[in-house]
Amino acid sequence: MILGMGVDLVSLERIDGVWKRHGERFLKYLLTPEEQTEFSRQAAPERFLAKRFAAKEAFSKAVGTGMRAPVLWRSIGTAHNALGAPQLVFEEPLGVWLQARGITRTWLSITDEKSHAFACVVLEGT
């Protein structure tokens, strides 16, 4: 059963501007340690950041809380499965919180174009 859905569209220019103004502080605020490592290898870092921002914002909309504990930027991570499909991963407090609400699976789709990044998150559960 679908328990929630959220989408987000973000301007690459906006995210790039925030990153250039706040630098490392923004990276540590937005990205998990694993994402920070992946970020350091990106040829287009503004696209990487915008897609991660959109994915996390879409997730916060899907659960209906916005960004407040335990739904925090660094509690939500992104990764890829063996076939390369994007997926969400969660830090322990958030993972437990999701299980308590019957959320057993998440679906993530992310994409970017010349000036924007878009993400859609669907939550499945009992």
Is there a cis peptide before residue 70, judged by omega within 30 degrees of 0?
yes
Q: Contact at 8 Å (CB) between 124 and 3? A: yes
> Which residues line the annotated binding site?
8, 57
CB 50 within 8 A of CB 12: yes
As annotated, the binding site for Mg(2+) includes 8, 57
CA distance 31 to 53: 9
Contact criterion met (CB below 8 Å) for 58 and 119: yes
| H helix intervals, the chain | 12-22, 24-30, 33-39, 45-63, 92-100
